[in-house]
């Protein structure tokens, strides 16, 4: 790749060149276009474009200008303004009289119609109506008008007509009037008719004032408030209107006359000589020139009109123009009009005809076809350059990818409005200027020199605006930026959206599961809810503000409906949530009955179902495992028991044998002791496994805890006394009751006592007490440990955990575990405390019958289900 050419391609210079050239070419297109338009205006559309140029007097520009001025000569020859006032004054009385007469006739007609209506709609039954005491109803005699009869009213005026005769106010009278009265006689009964009848409608009277045989002026007399005025009043109104119309008309005619006069007097090439009906002469030639001399001068030029009131002679005009002039002139008698175009005056640059002629001669020399070609070519070339420019724009030397320019930072919609606003403004300006020039001084010499330049320049500037906008759009597109995202309105909208998003984002941070998904949902929810209400709330307020009931009710309904729908969805959501909660309580999968369920709830239901299943499986497995374990231990124990029986028996037999060897004897003794120990261990193991799995039956009854304690103590006291341990039993005054299984409870106490027996320091006392607090009964045992207790009370109830970690002493570490499990099975508990060497155990058992709430029983219930 040739870097130099690339560098040049994307340089500011090349882009600028394209832009400027495109503008220049466009300028030349517009310029030639304007020349072409001017040509069609001056020479004539078809003639100019076909290249078949007519002579000046046959050209379109000349014809339109000449016919206008010809018309002005007619205005001059018509009447002087003074004649109009005279005509108005002359016709005044007749016109006003006619108008008033028409007015009154129509008014009388209205009265007649009203009376007729009252008679036609009269209904006897109407008067038989029973009126309430509150309503004052005018009897027929007192009604203010026929129309008031039977109506509710408070007026009780007694009426008289204008002659002082009282007017009967009843239907019979109305019928009589209708039969007898004619035409304007009805006006006498105006008082019988409701006032509203006269203001329904407007009075209009159109007529015309004849100024001369050929000239009339349209006149409109009117009363906006209808027929409420009487003869004198309406006459006054009409007179006012008449005189103001006279003044207006006088003024307009005068202004036309003055304008025609001034226009014509400015002309130099266009020579006229007009004599009106009164013999007044209007001319732009020297006053002393005779009519004959003017005619001679006229005839020496090619374009002239000679009209002496009868004969018409026309110069070199197009045939249809000639016809038109002839027709006009034959309708204008009693005057003389002489016009000619003085060709010797072409050089006068102040004269429009001279300018038009010079424009004509100039345009005649141009080749319209080549101009058209130039226009087309420049337009195409301009467009091509524009496209090249658009291709180049956005690329910048030193930048790999297309970039946007500084101006592209402007929001695209604002840019569009600004650019097209300028373009539209400039285009309108061009059209206005062009129209103005064509309408007024189109034919001034300045036209062909400046106007095309100015107009072209303006249009070119707007074209440049267009390219600039286009380039900006192309740059944005090339740079990969989004056009719509750059719009101010979109930016504003997205700013609002971002706000909501941020809000919902912050809100979603409080959600633990899938906050991203929740964020989206929240955005939709908040956005939707807000936008709905943002639209509806002002609508309601606006409707309320203007107090327009129907829109208010409609918008209120919409508002309520919208919020109701939102609420409905929330309730639906909650319903589904409830379904899930209900299902989770009953440990069954949630059933939505085929309804569509939001993702979050569906997931929740699924998870709950899965958890439930997993839990059920886990429970089943745990139960199975526990059962298997118990069975295993039991079976293993059984299998262990048989050989152990032999072991015990034979070791015992061995001990009894006559063995001399002391060492052997000692060994046999150890075997025997250990096998006894093993036996106990196996028994405890079985019990522990049964108790911990809840595989025992509790036959609870009310027991005397004190008695039980004593019985247990009695079992252990002798053995403990051998070790020097004395049991101090603090017997309560009243024996506490306990609701428990006797043998199981004995097992607990015996385990504790045996513990005390095994681990008490020699020659120490063991304190046992029993007490109750009505709800629970307690068995407390305290002893001093012979060894340091480096263990927590919780650990002690674990299976196979013993106070002496060396495990050298008697015991297997199951006692406390069994005791604890048995306590719990009987709705009680075992509390252990260690304070230095002091070991304290408290058995807590219910003093009275308790509704079982142990997990074992619950499981049984479940299995039954």
Partner 1 sequence: MYRVLVCDDDEAILESVRIYLKAEGYDVLTASDGVAALEVIENNDIHCMVLDIMMPRLDGLKTTIRIREKYNFPIILLSAKSEDTDKITGLGFGADDYVTKPFNPLELVARVKSQIRRYSTLGSMQKTENMLITGGLTLNKDSKEVTVDGEPVKLTAREYSILEYLMSNMGRVLSSTQIYEAVWNEIAFQTEKTVTVHIRNIREKIEINPKEPKYLKVVWGLGYKIDKI
**Structure-token pair, residue 832:** 């252990």
Query: 685 near 637, Cβ under 8 Å?
Result: yes
DSSP helix/strand/coil, 512: coil
Q: Interface with partner 1 includes 715 (CB under 8 A)?
A: yes
- Judged by CB under 8 A, the stretch of 30-38, 49-57, 598-606, 706-714 that binds partner 1 is 706-714
User: CB-wise, 233 or 731, nearer to partner 1?
Assistant: 731
* Shortest CB 840 distance to partner 1, Å: 22
Query: 217 near 84, Cβ under 8 Å?
Result: yes
Query: Of these, 644, 786, 824, 834, which contacts partner 1 (CB under 8 A)?
Result: 644
Query: 736 near 706, Cβ under 8 Å?
Result: yes
**Structure-token pair, residue 828:** 């009680």
How many degrees, rounded to 5, is the angle at CA 163 between CA 160 and CA 166?
A: 30
> If you write DSSP's letter for every residue of 74-117 in order, what string do you get?
HHHHS--THHHHHHHHHHHHHHHHHHHHHHHHHHHHHHHHHHHH
Query: Of these, 345, 477, 520, 641, which contacts partner 1 (CB under 8 A)?
Result: 641
- Judged by CB under 8 A, the stretch of 466-474, 482-490, 705-713, 832-840 that binds partner 1 is 705-713
User: CB-wise, 303 or 740, nearer to partner 1?
Assistant: 740
Q: What are phi and psi of 814, to 5 degrees?
A: -105, -20
Query: Of these, 643, 669, 724, 852, which contacts partner 1 (CB under 8 A)?
Result: 643
Query: Of these, 742, 787, 798, 857, which contacts partner 1 (CB under 8 A)?
Result: 742
Query: 181 near 114, Cβ under 8 Å?
Result: no
- Judged by CB under 8 A, the stretch of 177-185, 545-553, 643-651, 817-825 that binds partner 1 is 643-651
* Shortest CB 720 distance to partner 1, Å: 13
* Shortest CB 752 distance to partner 1, Å: 14
User: CB-wise, 346 or 650, nearer to partner 1?
Assistant: 650
- Judged by CB under 8 A, the stretch of 195-203, 238-246, 623-631, 736-744 that binds partner 1 is 736-744
- Judged by CB under 8 A, the stretch of 512-520, 644-652, 789-797, 824-832 that binds partner 1 is 644-652
Query: Of these, 70, 746, 767, 839, which contacts partner 1 (CB under 8 A)?
Result: 746
* Closest-CA residue to 648 (of 685, 665, 673, 667): 673
Q: Interface with partner 1 includes 645 (CB under 8 A)?
A: yes
Q: Interface with partner 1 includes 717 (CB under 8 A)?
A: yes
Q: Interface with partner 1 includes 671 (CB under 8 A)?
A: no
Please name the residue that has the structure tokens 């379109």.
Answer: 60
Question: How many CA atoms does the CB half-sphere of 255 hold within 13 Å?
Answer: 5
Q: Interface with partner 1 includes 769 (CB under 8 A)?
A: no
* Closest-CA residue to 173 (of 145, 195, 136): 145
Angle formed by the axes of helices 662-692 and 599-656, nearest 10°: 150
- Judged by CB under 8 A, the stretch of 241-249, 387-395, 529-537, 650-658 that binds partner 1 is 650-658
* Spatial CB neighbours of 3, under 8 Å, sequence gap ≥ 6: none
Query: Of these, 679, 799, 831, 850, which contacts partner 1 (CB under 8 A)?
Result: 679
**Structure-token pair, residue 663:** 């060492």
Dist. CA 363–CA 392, nearest whole Å: 40
* Closest-CA residue to 486 (of 419, 412, 420): 412
* Spatial CB neighbours of 789, under 8 Å, sequence gap ≥ 6: 803, 834, 837, 839
Contact set for partner 1, span 206-245 (CB under 8 A): none
* Shortest CB 517 distance to partner 1, Å: 59
Dist. CA 72–CA 272, nearest whole Å: 10
* Shortest CB 658 distance to partner 1, Å: 13
**Structure-token pair, residue 341:** 């175009």
* Spatial CB neighbours of 859, under 8 Å, sequence gap ≥ 6: 619, 623
Q: Interface with partner 1 includes 668 (CB under 8 A)?
A: no
Q: Interface with partner 1 includes 652 (CB under 8 A)?
A: yes
* Shortest CB 611 distance to partner 1, Å: 39
User: CB-wise, 223 or 750, nearer to partner 1?
Assistant: 750
* Shortest CB 638 distance to partner 1, Å: 4
Dist. CA 500–CA 494, nearest whole Å: 10
Q: How far is CA 245 from the centre of its chain?
A: 57
CA Rg, the chain, in Å? 62
Dist. CA 785–CA 803, nearest whole Å: 9
Q: Using alpha carbons, list the distances in angstroms from residue 721 to 523, 627, 764, 766.
A: 81, 41, 10, 11
Q: Interface with partner 1 includes 852 (CB under 8 A)?
A: no
* Closest-CA residue to 340 (of 315, 310, 311): 315
Q: Interface with partner 1 includes 525 (CB under 8 A)?
A: no
Query: Of these, 65, 371, 386, 713, which contacts partner 1 (CB under 8 A)?
Result: 713
- Would you give the end-to-end CA distance of the chain in angstroms? 86
Query: Of these, 151, 330, 397, 646, which contacts partner 1 (CB under 8 A)?
Result: 646
Please name the residue that has the structure tokens 């320019």.
Answer: 405
Q: Interface with partner 1 includes 632 (CB under 8 A)?
A: no
Q: Using alpha carbons, list the distances in angstroms from residue 339 to 206, 315, 486, 633, 634.
A: 39, 10, 68, 145, 147
* Shortest CB 793 distance to partner 1, Å: 26
Query: Of these, 567, 622, 714, 728, which contacts partner 1 (CB under 8 A)?
Result: 714
User: CB-wise, 88 or 778, nearer to partner 1?
Assistant: 778
User: CB-wise, 363 or 768, nearer to partner 1?
Assistant: 768
- Judged by CB under 8 A, the stretch of 135-143, 375-383, 504-512, 737-745 that binds partner 1 is 737-745
Query: Of these, 241, 368, 501, 745, which contacts partner 1 (CB under 8 A)?
Result: 745
Which x/- pattern, by CB under 8 A, does the window 578-617 give for partner 1? ----------------------------------------
* Shortest CB 703 distance to partner 1, Å: 3
Query: Of these, 149, 245, 708, 822, which contacts partner 1 (CB under 8 A)?
Result: 708
Question: How many CA atoms does the CB half-sphere of 660 hold within 13 Å?
Answer: 0
User: CB-wise, 106 or 715, nearer to partner 1?
Assistant: 715
Number of residues that bind partner 1 (CB under 8 A): 40
Footprint of partner 1 (CB under 8 A): 637-638, 641-650, 652-653, 675, 679, 683, 686, 703-708, 710-715, 717-718, 729, 731, 738, 740, 742-743, 745-746
């Amino acid at each position: 790749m040739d870097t130099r050419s690339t560098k040049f391609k994307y340089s500011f210079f090349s882009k600028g060149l394209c832009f400027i050239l495109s503008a220049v070419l466009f300028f030349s297109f517009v310029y030639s276009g304007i020349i072409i338009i001017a040509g069609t205006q001056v020479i004539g559309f078809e003639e100019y474009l076909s290249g078949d140029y007519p002579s000046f007097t046959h050209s379109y520009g000349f014809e339109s200008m000449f016919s206008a001025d010809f018309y002005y000569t007619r205005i001059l020859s018509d009447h002087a303004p003074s004649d109009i006032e005279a005509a108005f004054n002359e016709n005044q009385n007749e016109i006003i009289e006619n108008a008033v007469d028409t007015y009154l006739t129509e008014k009388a007609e209205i009265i007649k119609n009203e009376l007729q209506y009252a008679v036609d709609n009269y209904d006897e039954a109407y008067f038989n109506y029973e009126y309430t005491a509150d309503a004052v109803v005018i009897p027929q005699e007192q009604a203010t008008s026929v129309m008031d009869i039977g109506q509710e009213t408070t007026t009780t005026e007694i009426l008289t007509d204008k002659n002082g005769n009282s007017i009967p106010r009843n239907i019979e009278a109305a019928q009589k009037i209708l039969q007898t009265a004619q035409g304007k006689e009805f006006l006498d009964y105006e008082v019988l008719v409701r006032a509203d009848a006269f203001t329904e409608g407007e009075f209009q009277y159109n007529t015309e004032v004849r100024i001369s045989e050929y000239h009339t002026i349209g006149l409109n007399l009117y009363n906006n408030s209808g027929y409420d005025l009487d003869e004198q009043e309406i006459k006054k109104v009409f007179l006012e209107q008449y005189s103001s119309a006279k003044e207006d008309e006088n003024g307009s005619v005068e202004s036309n006359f003055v304008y025609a006069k001034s226009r014509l007097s400015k002309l130099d090439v266009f020579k006229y000589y007009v004599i009106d009906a009164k013999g007044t002469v209007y001319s732009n030639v020297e006053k002393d020139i005779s009519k004959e001399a003017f005619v001679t001068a006229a005839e020496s030029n090619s374009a002239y009109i000679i009209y002496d009131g009868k004969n018409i002679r026309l110069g070199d005009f197009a045939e249809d123009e000639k016809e038109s002039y002839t027709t006009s002139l034959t309708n204008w008698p009693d005057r003389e009009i002489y016009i000619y175009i003085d060709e010797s005056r072409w050089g006068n640059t102040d004269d429009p005809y001279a300018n038009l002629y010079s424009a004509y001669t100039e345009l005649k020399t141009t080749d319209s076809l080549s101009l058209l070609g130039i226009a087309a070519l420049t337009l195409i070339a301009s467009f091509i350059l524009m496209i090249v420019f658009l291709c180049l724009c956005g690329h910048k030397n030193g930048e790999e990818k297309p970039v946007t320019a500084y101006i592209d930072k402007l929001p695209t919609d604002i840019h569009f409005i600004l650019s097209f606003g300028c373009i539209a403004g400039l285009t309108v300006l061009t059209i206005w200027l062009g129209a103005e020039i064509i309408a007024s001084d189109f034919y001034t010499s300045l036209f062909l020199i400046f106007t095309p330049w100015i107009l072209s320049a303006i249009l070119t500037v707007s074209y440049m605006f267009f390219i600039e906008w286009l380039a900006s759009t192309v740059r944005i597109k090339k740079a990969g930026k989004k056009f719509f995202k750059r719009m101010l309105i979109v930016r504003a909208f997205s700013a609002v959206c971002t706000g909501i998003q941020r809000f919902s984002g912050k809100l979603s941070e409080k959600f633990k599961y899938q906050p991203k998904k929740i964020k989206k949902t929240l955005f939709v929810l908040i956005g939707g809810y807000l936008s709905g209400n943002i639209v509806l709330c002002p609508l309601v307020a606006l409707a309320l503000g203007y107090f327009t009931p129907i829109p208010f009710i409609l918008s209120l309904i919409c508002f309520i409906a919208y919020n109701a729908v939102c609420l409905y969805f929330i309730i639906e959501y909650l319903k589904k949530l409830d379904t899930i909660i209900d299902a989770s309580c009953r440990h069954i999968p949630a059933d939505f009955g085929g309804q569509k369920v939001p993702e979050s709830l569906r997931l929740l239901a699924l998870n709950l179902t899965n958890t439930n299943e997993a839990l059920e499986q886990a429970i089943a497995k745990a139960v199975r495992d526990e059962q298997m374990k118990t069975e295993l231990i039991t079976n293993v124990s059984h299998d262990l028991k048989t050989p152990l029986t032999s072991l015990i028996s034979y070791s015992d037999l061995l001990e009894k044998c006559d063995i001399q060897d002391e060492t052997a004897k000692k060994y046999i003794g150890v075997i025997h002791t250990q096998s006894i120990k093993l036996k106990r261990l196996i028994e405890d193991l079985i019990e522990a496994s049964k108790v911990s799995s809840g595989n025992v039956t509790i036959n609870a009854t009310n027991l005397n805890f004190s008695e039980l304690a004593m019985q247990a103590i009695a079992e252990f006291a002798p053995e403990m006394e051998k070790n020097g341990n004395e049991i101090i039993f603090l017997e309560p005054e009243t024996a506490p009751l306990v609701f428990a299984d006797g043998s199981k409870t004995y097992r607990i106490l015996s385990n504790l006592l045996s513990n005390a027996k095994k681990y008490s320091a020699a020659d120490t006392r063991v304190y046992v007490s029993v007490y109750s607090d009505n709800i629970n009964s307690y068995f407390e045992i305290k002893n001093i440990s012979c060894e340091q207790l480096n263990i927590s009370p919780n650990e002690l109830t674990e299976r196979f955990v013993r106070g002496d970690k060396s495990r050298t002493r008697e015991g297997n570490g199951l006692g406390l575990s069994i005791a604890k499990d048995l306590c719990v099975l009987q709705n009680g508990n075992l509390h252990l405390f260690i304070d230095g060497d002091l070991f304290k155990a408290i058995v807590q058992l219910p003093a009275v019958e308790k509704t079982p709430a142990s997990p074992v029983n619950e499981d049984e219930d479940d299995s039954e289900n």
